[in-house]
Amino acid sequence: MSNPTLQAEQRSDTGKGVARKLRAAGRMPAVAYGGSAAAQNLTINPEQILGLKRGPLGWNQPVSIDVDGGDNVELAMLQAVDKHPITGQLLHADFVRVDAKQAVVVAVPLRVEGTAPGVAMGGRLNQQLRALKVSCLPSDIPEGIAVDVSKLNIGDRVLLSEVVLPSGVTALIDDQPLVILVGRRGARQEEEVEEAAEDAEEGASEESGE
């Protein structure tokens, strides 16, 4: 699937006053940097940024940028988006240029799949890890990582080591944290999670020979 192309204009003027005028006109300042080229100050329609967020990859979506009055950006990813703390209005966007043949680091959501039998028996599903930082090529960024709970009974858990990662995707975490626990209703959630996490740490230590 091809990456979307954003439309932007090269911007020479900078400063708070310029940024306010851009936002009043329905535009927003942005910058593209990284790689061997110099940083580019840009102007962009914030609706394009919001459109990325609504897409399947969200703000992990690689993009191309056609720049009116400047050099086009072949491939880039959103590095940061500044928002107004009260209104939520988008204020500024940072794009970092990336190489299609070099791995990038992104946080990918963990998505529960299936229905745990333990929940049907009155248990409670607690998801402790909701996103995972991974490394992969821009073309291999997954929409999400599935966590199958269809065989979990009360007291069962899923550790990160049990989650199947898509091909070409590597988790950037050394330990094996608790991802999901099916606990008992009426029990204190904090105690159950703490006990399961301690068991997971002990199991990881035994496997590593510590």
In the predicted model, what is the mean pLDDT of residues 151-164? 94
- Over range 134-148, report the average pLDDT: 97
What percent of the chain stands above pLDDT 90?
A: 74
Predicted local distance difference test score (pLDDT) of residue 16: 81
**Distance (Å) of CA 144 to CA 95, 98, 147, 163:** 22, 21, 10, 12
Instruction: State residue 195's pLDDT score.
Output: 62
pLDDT of residue 23: 87
Q: Write the pLDDT tens digit of every residue in 108-134.
A: 999 999 999 999 999 999 999 999 999
Above 90 in pLDDT, residue 164?
A: yes
Mean pLDDT of the 92-113 span:
97
Distance CA 77, CA 61 (A): 7
Let me know if 193 is exposed, middle or buried by CB neighbors in 10 A (0-12, 13-18, 19+).
Answer: middle
Q: What is the pLDDT of residue 196?
A: 59
Q: β-strands 5-10, 40-44: how paired? A: antiparallel
We find that the CATH architecture of domain 5-97 is: Beta Barrel (2.40)
Question: Where in the chain are the domains?
Answer: 5-97, 104-208
State which CATH number among 1.10.10.10, 3.40.47.10, 2.170.120.20, 3.40.1190.20 fits the domain covering 104-208: 2.170.120.20
Question: What value does the mean pLDDT take over residues 40-69?
Answer: 95
Domain 5-97 and domain 104-208, same fold? Reply is no
The Cα 131–Cα 135 span in angstroms is 13
Q: Which residue has the higher pLDDT, 189 or 67?
A: 67
Query: What distance lies between CA 167 and its chain's CA centroid?
Result: 17
Q: How confident is the model at residue 92 (pLDDT cuts 50, 70, 90)?
A: very high
Say whether pLDDT at 192 is over 80: no
Q: Span 100-113, mean pLDDT?
A: 97
pLDDT level of residue 159 (50, 70, 90 thresholds):
very high
pLDDT recorded at residue 208: 46
Q: How far is it, in rounded angstroms, from Cα 53 to Cα 59?
A: 5
pTM beyond 0.85: no
